[in-house]
């Protein structure tokens, strides 16, 4: 096979891989197609949203000849979208690594009892059921943790992603030792959660607050709060995710099982 033929085959494969993608008015395949976008187009990817089936939906702006067209594409086959996904994954990884380094650098926890950071925190969280932001059913009791982190987070707060990421190192380290977790977005609709969650893989459930749990437990809707629960769902500590919350978790897990 000649070098010319090999080069032609490579170019044909690239053309197939980067075929023009439909740009639609929404995130459903039933939404009208308003344009197409290809690998050579000038594309700005603005955000990720939930799409149909396994494909993530991305809001894009296609620019050319002095015009800007805003629409949505499904999947990450376009190079601009793939670069966006990679960048967001790297950002999440950097945050997680920074949190892990901060945890290792923190002073060793003493043996004094962990105190609730929020004096107005409830003494107990009642069992509750949910359908998470992707429609999967679950419940607090169904998590079965010896210790459970319940993180209330405001979707409109730009620090929400960092707060959720700060749970990640502790959860990854201690999940197999009995730590469970659930995140509760302080909004009743899962749509408000898409921008924060859709391109980040959290291993614990993320739930829209359809039942007013944040209000019931007096959580500040502007900043959120993390509760540490024992196996009976008694609140042992409450406050922003940080060394004191971690201390309470480790102390409970180190205690003998009743």
Percent of the chain whose pLDDT exceeds 90? 38
176 occurs within a structural domain: yes
Residue 45 domain-assigned (yes or no): yes
Asked if 135 and 66 sit in the same domain, the reply is no
pLDDT tens for 221-244 read 888 899 999 999 999 999 888 899
**pLDDT of residue 149 exceeding 90:** yes
pLDDT at residue 53, rounded to an integer = 56
248 confidence band (pLDDT: 50, 70, 90): very high
70-83 burial, b if ≥16 CB within 10 A, otherwise e?
Answer: ebbbbebebebbee
Looking at the fold, whether 154 and 211 belong to one and the same domain comes out as: yes
Q: CA 61 to CA 150: how far, in whole Å?
A: 37
Q: Which two tokens stand for residue 226?
A: 């993390």
- Same domain (yes/no): 135, 200: yes
Query: Whole domain around residue 132: which residue ranges?
Result: 122-254
**Residue 104: what pLDDT?**
64
Same-domain check for residues 211 and 130 = yes
Q: What is the pLDDT of residues 171-187, one digit of tens each?
A: 999 999 999 999 999 88
Mean pLDDT estimate for the chain:
81
Predicted confidence at residue 199, as pLDDT, reads 67
Residues 138 and 246 in one domain: yes
Q: What is the CATH number of the domain that holds 212?
A: 3.40.30.10
Question: Where among 28, 60, 79 does a domain terminate?
Answer: 79
Same structural domain, 143 and 241: yes
**235: part of which helix (H) or strand (E)?**
strand 235-239
Query: Looking at the DSSP assignment, which residues form a beta bridge with residue 48?
Result: 58
Tell whether 56 is covered by a domain: yes
Judge if 60 and 181 occupy the same domain: no
Is there a single domain that holds both residue 151 and residue 48? Answer: no
Chain segment 3-57, per-residue pLDDT in tens: 554 444 444 444 444 568 999 998 888 889 999 998 889 999 887 765 555 677 8
Tell me how far apart the alpha carbons of residues 242 and 155 are, in angstroms, rounded to a whole number. Answer: 20
- Per-residue pLDDT reduced to its tens digit, 112-124: 444 445 667 888 9
Q: Are both 67 and 130 inside the same structural domain?
A: no
Express as a percent the part of the chain with pLDDT over 70. Answer: 78
Nearest CA to 73 out of 112, 11, 26 is that of 26
The answer on pLDDT for 254 being more than 90 is yes
Contacts of 210 (CB under 8 A, 6+ apart): 130, 188
Residues 146, 55 share a domain: no
Q: Check: pTM over 0.85? Answer yes or no.
A: no
In this structure, the answer to whether residues 130 and 32 fall within a common structural domain is no
Q: Which pLDDT belongs to residue 118?
A: 66
User: Helix 160-174 crosses helix 243-254 at what angle (to 10 degrees)?
Assistant: 20
Question: Does 90 fall in a domain?
Answer: no
How many domains are contained in the chain? 2
111 band by pLDDT with thresholds 50, 70 and 90: very low
Residue 87 included in any domain: no
Query: Looking at residue 114, what is its pLDDT?
Result: 41
Q: Is residue 139 part of a domain?
A: yes
Residue 107 has pLDDT above 60, yes or no: no
């Amino acid at each position: 096979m000649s070098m010319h033929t090999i080069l032609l085959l490579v170019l044909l494969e690239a053309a197939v891989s980067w075929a023009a993608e439909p740009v639609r008015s929404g995130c459903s395949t039933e939404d009208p197609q308003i344009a197409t976008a290809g690998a050579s187009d000038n594309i700005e990817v603005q955000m990720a949203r939930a799409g149909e089936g396994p494909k993530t939906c991305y809001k894009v702006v296609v620019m050319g000849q002095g015009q800007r067209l805003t629409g949505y594409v499904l999947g990450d086959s376009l190079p601009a979208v793939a670069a966006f996904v990679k960048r967001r994954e790297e950002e999440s990884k950097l945050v997680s690594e920074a949190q892990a380094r901060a945890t290792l650098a923190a002073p060793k926890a003493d043996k004094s009892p962990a105190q609730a950071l929020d004096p107005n925190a409830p003494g107990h969280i009642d069992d509750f059921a949910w359908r998470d932001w992707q429609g999967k059913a679950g419940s607090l009791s169904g998590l079965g943790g010896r210790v459970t982190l319940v993180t209330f987070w405001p979707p409109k707060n730009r620090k929400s992603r960092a707060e959720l990421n700060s749970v990640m190192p502790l959860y990854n380290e201690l999940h197999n030792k009995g730590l469970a977790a659930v995140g509760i977005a302080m909004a009743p609709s899962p749509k408000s959660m898409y921008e924060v969650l859709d391109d980040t893989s959290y291993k614990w459930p993320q739930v829209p607050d359809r039942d007013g749990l944040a209000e019931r437990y007096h959580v500040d809707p502007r900043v959120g709060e993390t509760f540490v629960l024992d196996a009976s769902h008694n609140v042992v500590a409450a406050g922003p995710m940080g060394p004191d919350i971690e201390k309470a978790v480790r102390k409970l897990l180190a205690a003998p099982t009743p």
